[in-house]
Amino acid sequence: MTQTETTGRKRFTKRRRYRRVMVGVLLAGVAIGLALRSIGYPFVGEAVYWLGIISVLAIWRSTSLTLFDERDQELERRTAMTTLSVFAAVLVIGASATRVLAWAGIYTVPPVLAGALYGYVVLFLVALFIGAWYRYRG
């Protein structure tokens, strides 16, 4: 094995370890935080939750390793597009259905569901804003 391959192999192993540690720390923070809240220690639980979040960010920002490669970014892009498409379908159909049902006096959507639909509208406005920023930032 050449020097380049040895260095590459070490970097590869280190990246895999970092990614596993990040996922582990995040899941542990959420799980322990939930457990502590459920047994009556809400503030400690919240602190543990934030400790997990900050630890993940610290690992991600402090290492010079590329933890996520180009395929990860492509998968994230496709995931975001598919998710937005699902939300768009739910919003278009859901908003129309709630209006028609309300006008017909058949069913009035509960405030929680109406709020969720407005939340989707906000989501798309944010997506539009971010998309415009990427497109026109020069």
Binding residues for other proteins (CB under 8 A): 4-5, 8-9, 11-12, 15-16, 66, 69-72, 74
Q: What is the closest distance, in whole angstroms, from the C-beta atom of residue 101 to other proteins in the complex? A: 43
Between 70 and 122, CB nearer to other proteins: 70
Q: What is the CA radius of gyration of the chain?
A: 22
Contact in structure between 62 and 74 (CB atoms under 8 Å): no
Q: What is the closest distance, in whole angstroms, from the C-beta atom of residue 70 to other proteins in the complex? A: 5
Between 4 and 62, CB nearer to other proteins: 4
Positive or negative torsion for Cα 99, 101, 102, 108:
negative
Structure-token match 């975001």, residue found: 80
Q: What is the closest distance, in whole angstroms, from the C-beta atom of residue 76 to other proteins in the complex? A: 13
Between 5 and 46, CB nearer to other proteins: 5
Contact in structure between 98 and 109 (CB atoms under 8 Å): yes
Cα–Cα distance, 77 to 81 (Å, whole number): 6
Between 15 and 37, CB nearer to other proteins: 15
